[in-house]
Amino acid sequence: MKRVVAIVLSLALAGCDYSPPGPPVEEAVGAPLDAPRVSVTAPGDGQQQVMAFTDIDSAQEVSVAVSEGFNQDVIQAAAADGFHPSVATAAVTLPLNIEVTPASDAASGQAPATRNVFAKVQATPDIPTAEGFQFGWRAVDSGQASSLRLAAPKQASDEDRAAAEQAILKLVAHQVVFPTDPIAPGATWTVESRVTGDNTLLQTTTYRLVSYKDNQATLDVDISQRPSLGALQLADGQSVDVLNTQSESTGTLTVDLTKPLPVAGEVDVTTTVIYGQKDAAVRVIQTTATKVRFS
């Protein structure tokens, strides 16, 4: 009888999608997200419709590679105009399993939401002890997220934990947000948001809807960034003003509206900020580089 029971149990498990539980995680830490400002600059040509995610009760497997780097140079003011900084970047690949469920009622202090996106990091050689890292966000159908929760594995090293958290923050900062107004191919809209990192930047993302068919939207993406503060405090107590900011970016994304994250494409942005005093002999140049790739 015991042998029969064992055979039946093994057959039952073989017939379902069973996976052992992941490593235990610490208590989740939540953080609110600033609501971005979304503005349609051109509605497009042809039949217009509201673009909205319809991904509730869906699952997605996607690999997100996040590369980022930060560099600071102090140079003579006369050389600043022709200076081309180089930035070394470090890459972290997050293989993700994602599920989307209906959002619960908003708790005290939470914004209303329709979708709850839950993601778990799978095994990755870049940050091996971060396997099982869990995170998720509440969002509405346009893609706008209002809060983020992070739960690191108890086994994670401090280095891997920090790298995973930073990559996740960059991923969330590059979430696609659609306007709530109806649009058509050729439409453009801007999303103004805040990006945290080595220095906090205000980011304006301009999207252009290239095409839309069978729930799949192809988007061109252009990003400009600027410092959130008009001056930089130096270690000696002095301050220098922002004299110039320049962003260079490229980006194309394929979004399946039945999935929470883009299914393909990448966004690459490099921002250079020049600080100084107009009559001073030196300039402080900070360069931030970020690339997010979906595959």
What's the whole-model pTM score? Answer: 0.88
Series of mean pLDDT values for 10-residue runs along the chain (295 residues): 33 35 77 90 95 97 96 90 86 97 84 94 96 96 94 95 93 93 98 79 96 96 92 80 94 98 97 90 92 96
pLDDT at 240: 87
Query: Minimal CA–CA distance to 219: which of 44, 10, 54?
Result: 44
Q: Is the residue at 20 inside a domain?
A: no
pLDDT at 207: 98
124 and 95 Cβ atoms separated by less than 8 Å: yes
85 and 73 Cβ atoms separated by less than 8 Å: yes
Q: Is the residue at 114 inside a domain?
A: yes
How many C-beta atoms lie closer than 10 Å to residue 225's C-beta?
Answer: 22
pLDDT at 22: 63
Q: Is the residue at 10 inside a domain?
A: no
Beta strands in 90-182 (DSSP E): 90-102, 115-121, 134-139, 145-151
CA distance 111 to 131: 30
CA distance 90 to 217: 30
List the Cα angle 221/222/226 in 5-degree steps.
140
pLDDT at 250: 96
* Number of domains composing the chain: 1
Q: Is the residue at 185 inside a domain?
A: yes
Q: Is the residue at 8 inside a domain?
A: no
Q: Is the residue at 54 inside a domain?
A: yes
CA distance 47 to 72: 48
How many C-beta atoms lie closer than 10 Å to residue 113's C-beta?
Answer: 21
Q: Can you say how many angstroms the Cα of residue 257 is from the centroid of all Cα atoms in its chain?
A: 17
Q: Is the residue at 6 inside a domain?
A: no
Q: Is the residue at 36 inside a domain?
A: yes
Q: Tell me if residue 158 falls in helix, strand or coil.
A: helix
Structural domain for 200, as ranges: 28-294
